[in-house]
Amino acid sequence: MTTATPVLLQLLPLPFPEAQQRLAQRFDLIELWKEQDPDAVIAARQNEIVAVVTSAMTPTSAKLIDKLPNLRAICSHGVGYDAIDVKHAQKKGIQVSNTPDVLNDCVADLALGLLLATARRLGQAERYVRSNLWSTDAKFPLGVKVSHKKIGIVGLGRIGMAIAQRAKGFDMEIRYHNRRQRTDVGLTYEPSLVELAAWADFLVIATVGGPDTRHLVNDDVIKALGRDGILINISRGTVVDETAMVNALVSGELGGAGLDVYESEPTVPDALKTLDNVVIVPHIASATSETRKAMADLVAANAEAFAKTGNVITPIPPL
């Protein structure tokens, strides 16, 4: 690194002022969201920019990367990186960091929250009380027991493991499907996703998004999970064939779904909004003040480390 203040292109603000300040202390910041004509600003300063701050939900394309010939680091706020062309960046020798680990607890907590809410009909029960149906003759339908059931986890990474740990607390039987069998966990591996779905009462999706996992949970998997099964998705909407899932929920071929993510966020299929066997929330798995602060701090720490040493702290391994 030279001694001149390095220039950082920031595509979105960090959600905590202290973290934002840390960036401002180390870098000459281009705060793109404040610019009237972002393309013109990028064109005018493209040769100066050495780092970019982005997020899991902010598209960071090969086209943008190619506009910045001196780019050396991309620091992203979030664990998922399907919105960033990481392969392209890495091919050009650009480091890309994300914010792993600091959000595992909250994402796993939400997975279990959605599972409980769907199985025990918590959303529907709330609506029942709020609309004064409790004091009438209307009967509230029975839910599904959660403890001692069979849970299938799709994607046994760090978040998948945190979900497994919580499932143990509910005395559940646990199996998983993964790209590779893990030898470091005492859990049963199921190489066939259809078989896992057929076995499970609850199927929880915790795998990465992107082209490699698009529609991994297809019609066959959904039908195998079946009319008594519940699908939970806290990973990416693209992993599930949403049309097949909606059709199965409407026809009763799938028992229920608890969803944090959707194929075309923030658009949620209207049918999902009308179904009582579905719990839908707006991509909030990591959205607690503690976790979002830890994520913002880690983005700042990655950018600072890059400015100081030339290396980020939590690089995404080569894809």
State which residue, 30 or 103, has the beta carbon closest to ligand DGY: 103
Sign of CA pseudo-dihedral 144, 147, 152, 156: positive
Q: Which is nearer to ligand DGY, 39 or 212 (CB)?
A: 212
- Binding to ligand DGY, residues 230-289 (CB under 6 A): 283, 285-286
The secondary structure element, H or E, covering residue 130 is: helix 122-130
x-or-dash pattern for ligand DGY, window 100-139, by CB under 6 A? Answer: ---x------------------------------------
Please give the Cα distance from 316 to 185 (Å, whole number). Answer: 23
Does position 316 interact with ligand DGY (CB under 6 A)? The reply is: no
Instruction: Give the residue with the Cβ less far from ligand DGY, 79 or 279.
Output: 79
Nearer to ligand DGY, 103 or 239 (CB): 103
> Which span sits near ligand DGY by CB under 6 A: 15-23, 73-81, 160-168, 210-218?
73-81
Which residues are known catalytic residues?
Answer: 236, 265, 283
The residue (of 32 and 299) whose beta carbon lies closer to ligand DGY is 299
- Distance of closest approach, residue 188 Cβ to ligand DGY, in angstroms: 27
- What number of chain residues touch ligand DGY (CB under 6 A)? 9
- Window contacting ligand DGY (CB under 6 A); options: 19-27, 31-39, 72-80, 162-170: 72-80
Task: Decide: residue 31, CB within 10 A, 0-12 exposed, 13-18 middle, 19+ buried.
Answer: middle
**Closest alpha carbon to 24 in 33, 13, 34:** 13
Q: Measure the CA–CA gap between 75 and 95, rounded to whole angstroms.
A: 8
Q: Do the Cβ atoms of 206 and 153 come closer than 8 Å?
A: yes
Among 75, 79, 119, 224, binds ligand DGY (CB under 6 A): 79
Q: Of 6, 80, 210, 258, which one interacts with ligand DGY (CB under 6 A)?
A: 80
Tell me how far apart the alpha carbons of residues 300 and 83 are, in angstroms, rounded to a whole number. 20
Give the separation between CA 293 and CA 297, rounded to whole angstroms.
Answer: 6
Using CB under 6 A, which of 11, 29, 56, 74 touches ligand DGY? 56
Q: By CB under 6 A, is residue 157 in contact with ligand DGY?
A: no
CA distance linking residue 198 with residue 225, whole number of Å: 5
Selection from 74, 86, 84 nearest residue 299 by Cα: 74
Pick out residues in 284-313 that bind ligand DGY (CB under 6 A): 285-286
Q: Look at the alpha carbons of 151, 157, 163, 166 in this order and tell me if their dihedral is positive or negative.
A: positive
Q: Look-up: residue for tokens 């040493």? A: 309
Q: In the set 6, 13, 78, 258, which binds ligand DGY (CB under 6 A)? A: 78
Give the torsion sign (CA, 274, 275, 281, 283): negative
**Residue 240 C-beta: closest distance to ligand DGY, Å:** 15
294: helix, strand or coil: helix
Q: Considering beta carbons, is residue 217 or 285 the nearer one to ligand DGY?
A: 285
* Residue 147 and residue 170 in contact, taking contact as beta carbons nearer than 8 Å: yes
> Which of 68/299 has CB closer to ligand DGY?
299
Binding residues for ligand DGY restricted to 15-54, rule: CB under 6 A: none
What is the per-residue burial (b if ≥16 Cβ within 10 Å, else e) of 40-79? Answer: ebbeeebeebbbbbbbbeeebeeebbeebeebbbbbbbbb
Binding site for ligand DGY (CB under 6 A): 56-57, 78-80, 103, 283, 285-286
